[in-house]
Amino acid sequence: MITNSLQLTPPTPNLQHRVSITVHVDPPLLVGQTPLGERRIINITGGHFTGEKLRGVVLPGGADWQLVRPDGAALLEAKYTLRTDDGALIYVTNRGIRHGPPEVLARIAQGELVDPARYYFRAAPSFETGASAYAWLNDIVMVCSGVRTADAVLLDFYAVT
């Protein structure tokens, strides 16, 4: 039997801000009540992003395919493409959840600006790119925090280090 006196403790993760994204969106398309919940699709019409190592635009054509549970929480699955200022394309998949008190969610649905401290909006984006300058995105775990406005979603992305 081999014993090892080395204490193996996983490192404590930290968060490091990497990029802020503004995603412009259309009003929701209501698919309706399905066996899984209320399905809605929010088309992405554009936007922009800026960070220490990247900057550019959100291309139109993506969407957020949401499933609203009976308790009002929205399960989010957004897929869209970023184009950096130097022309690289980055494919983003962002899965998360937005929930809060029913009256707060109703105000958000009506397009009102609501203090983001009144509701929970978090997600875990992943990235794919073939651009060598941004290959680090293929190998990083990020989380994001969001705010919903009438016609946009504001997201701050943090690398988990």
Predicted pLDDT at 73: 96
Integer Cα distance of 120 and 118 in angstroms:
7
Give the distance from CA 97 to its chain's centroid.
Answer: 9
Q: Residue 2: pLDDT band by 50, 70, 90 thresholds?
A: low
pLDDT tens for each residue of 98-138: 999 999 999 999 999 999 999 999 999 999 999 999 999 99
Please give the helix or strand (H or E) that residue 107 lies within, else none.
Answer: helix 102-109
Q: Residue 1: pLDDT band by 50, 70, 90 thresholds?
A: low
Q: Residue 7: pLDDT band by 50, 70, 90 thresholds?
A: confident
Domains in the chain: boundaries: 15-160
Residue 46 has pLDDT above 70, yes or no: yes
CATH of 15-160, one of 3.30.450.40, 3.40.50.720, 3.40.920.10, 2.40.160.20: 2.40.160.20
Give the distance from CA 124 to its chain's centroid.
Answer: 6
- Give the largest CA-CA distance in the chain: 66
**pTM of the full structure:** 0.92
CA distances from 18 to 69, 80, 156 (A): 31, 18, 8
pLDDT tens for each residue of 58-110: 999 999 999 999 999 999 999 999 999 999 999 999 999 999 999 999 999 99
Does residue 115 sit in helix, strand or coil?
Answer: coil
Among candidate residues 65, 70, 45, the one with its CA nearest the CA of residue 151: 45
Residue 143 has pLDDT above 80, yes or no: yes
What Rg do the C-alpha atoms of the chain give, in angstroms?
A: 18
Integer Cα distance of 61 and 31 in angstroms:
18
CA trace torsion 140, 68, 40, 57 (10° rounding): -30
